[in-house]
Amino acid sequence: MRKFIDIGANLTDAMYLGIYNGSKKHESDLQQILQRSWAAGLCKMIITGGNLEESRKSVELTNMDDRLYATVGCHPTRCGEFEENGTNPEDYLQKLKDTILSKQDKVVAIGECGLDYDRTQFCSKDVQKKYFEYQLKLTEYFKLPLFLHCRNAADDLYNILSKHSGLEGVVHSFDGTSEEANKFIDLGYYIGLNGCSLKTEENLEVVKALPAEKILFETDCPWCEIRPTHAGYKYIQRENLDFPSVKKEKWKPDHMVKSRNEPCNISISVIS
């Protein structure tokens, strides 16, 4: 069996506690999810932190299994938290730093951080840029790679990263152009792929052109599954779909939940 590392799993999401849109549908099944993951060939998994609260939870979840690791950082759409309700940005950054120090051997990247210009209703471009660059202090201090988010913001993200030479990391859930990918690769960054990277024929052409040695795989679960409407769906090898799924209202502990992506889906082979 091939072995995989899922570089981006949102295991702190409430869906894994059985909660959907604020409504409890079933009991927490995180332990069963992990069991399916290891059975599918995962040998390590990195739990994504999206803000201070999630980062703390991500680090705490690494206690469940030696194969679990975490990222610590603040997602671009949540960067308003740095100054929310009179918060001192330095205090927020220090709390992120303290979270890393609490279990430094388990924190393997700074993030999820970056820029998202598709959802500026949650956080303005200027605030995103300010606190993305602010978080680079963490990667410079701890010498950790970046787990980067980029939506419709490749030029600004590239410009900021190019000012900070010597940093490393991955642009996760990549859905941009070949030109954008090559610019990040030229800076030394990897490209992270999941179902959102395989939606259109244009996406597939970008993936085909990527150097294999610069690709990292992720599920970004519970999001970014490969759906029947995606261009990449036709390349799924059906024999890798080992686990049956049911609707959340008919939950069973040994089944996946429909439309809730899981780390075990990393084993789905996609021909690029």
pLDDT for 69-102, tens place per residue? 999 999 999 999 999 988 899 999 999 999 999 9
Specify the DSSP element, H or E, that contains 90: helix 89-102
220 is in an annotated binding site: yes
d(C-alpha 78, C-alpha 122), whole Å: 7
75 is in an annotated binding site: no
pLDDT for 111-130, tens place per residue? 999 999 999 999 999 999 99
Strand 19-20 relative to strand 190-193, pairing: unpaired
172 is in an annotated binding site: yes
Supply the pTM of this predicted model. 0.96
pLDDT for 161-189, tens place per residue? 999 999 999 999 999 999 999 999 999 99
d(C-alpha 243, C-alpha 190), whole Å: 30
In the 8-state DSSP scheme, what is residue 8?
E
Measured on CA atoms in the order 191, 192, 196, 197, is the torsion positive or negative? positive
Instruction: Count the alpha carbons within 13 Å of 121 in the hemisphere toward its beta carbon.
Output: 2
- List the single range of 62-66, 84-88, 229-233 with lowest mean pLDDT: 84-88
